[in-house]
Structure 1
Amino acid sequence: MGAVRGCNIPEDLMYSVDNNVWVRQESDGSATVGLTSYACSLAGQIVSYTPKKVGKDVKKDKSCATVESGKWVGPAKAPVAGEVIAINDAVSAQPGLINEDPYGEGWLVKIKPADWSGDSADLTTGADALAAFEAKMEADGFGGC
């Protein structure tokens, strides 16, 4: 597990650094999407989660879910385009799971990618992701998680 300024950034995931989201390709070809611990720290305690409906097509860099905290409401932007095939019922019941376990139980949606190889080509992983998040946090004046 990598960390930048106290924020966990697992090096085995792929990231859309600009959108503060992660994606993991599963063995069945689906893609699990979630918010980074950095996004959770910026947002504060998440109180509401409204995913796109199962069966809905989402475009890359467009909303796959809306999350709301006490100080922020906004989209979680899909790092890959495709069809939403699952939403996280546990997070629907308890949105704070996103804060508590952003890379595990707090995932947002599962997508059947339309073009995994094309869409994932510009995502960042490993040491490159750690360096990119450090640069983003520096630019944002972020103190740490």
Structure 2
Amino acid sequence: MAMVKNCNLPEDLHYLVERHVWVRQEGDLVTIGMTDVAQNLAKTIISVTLKKAGKEVRKGRNVATVESGKWVGPVPAPVSGEIVEVNDTLTTSPALINSDPYGAGWVAKLRPADWAADSADLVTGAAGIEAYHQFLDAEGISCDG
């Protein structure tokens, strides 16, 4: 896992940097969630409202709404597709996003409509880490560690 300004950013994920969302390919599905950067900016997550499985979602539209003591905002879909599963555990334990954003704190699983086209603007590997580094520098953001 790469550390950028005290933020954990796994190199094996794809990122939609400006929206602080990560994507992990798992066969014909993708799992999405909020990055360590997002949970650090939001602080303690107190509520998560999830879309229902079976819904089609367009890229950029939200799959969940997250609320913290200082912020309410969407978790946007980084690719278009069908929501096949949501992490219902987040409704009773929303702070899993804070404690384990890349594991137990995942938000939704999608079946992408067109991964090749929709993933073109996602970054991964060393390029993803560098893009996040530049973004954090430009915005003056760092994580609590």
Query: Deviation at 1:18?
Result: 1.0
- Report matched runs for 1:1-145 at 5 Å: 1-27=1-27, 29-145=28-144
Please provide the CA RMSD for this pair.
0.9
Query: Deviation at 1:143?
Result: 3.4
Identity between Structure 1 and Structure 2 (%): 52
Query: Deviation at 1:91?
Result: 1.3
Give the whole-Å Cα distance in 1 for the aligned partners of 2:125 and 2:111. Answer: 23
Letter in 2 for 1:13: L
Note the alpha carbon deviations across 1:9-34, whole angstroms, 9 max, x for none. 0000001111100001112x011000
Query: 3-state DSSP class of the match of 2:121?
Result: coil
2:6·2:142 contact (CA, 8 Å) conserved in 1?
no
Query: Deviation at 1:73?
Result: 0.1
Give the whole-Å Cα distance in 2 for the aligned partners of 1:14 and 1:2. Answer: 13
Letter in 2 for 1:75: P
Query: 3-state DSSP class of the match of 2:117?
Result: helix
- Residue range with higher mean Cα deviation, 134-143 or 85-94: 134-143
2:81·2:112 contact (CA, 8 Å) conserved in 1?
yes
What TM-score, normalized by structure 1, do the two folds share?
0.96
In the TM superposition, structure 1's runs of 4+ consecutive aligned residues that sit over 3 Å from their partners are none
Please list every run of 5 or more consecutive structure 2 residues that lacks an aligned counterpart in the other structure.
none
Aligned length: 144
Give the whole-Å Cα distance in 2 for the aligned partners of 1:63 and 1:10. Answer: 23
Give the whole-Å Cα distance in 2 for the aligned partners of 1:2 and 1:141. Answer: 18
Give the whole-Å Cα distance in 2 for the aligned partners of 1:108 and 1:59. Answer: 16
Give the whole-Å Cα distance in 1 for the aligned partners of 2:40 and 2:142. Answer: 10
2:7·2:142 contact (CA, 8 Å) conserved in 1?
no
Query: Deviation at 1:39?
Result: 0.4
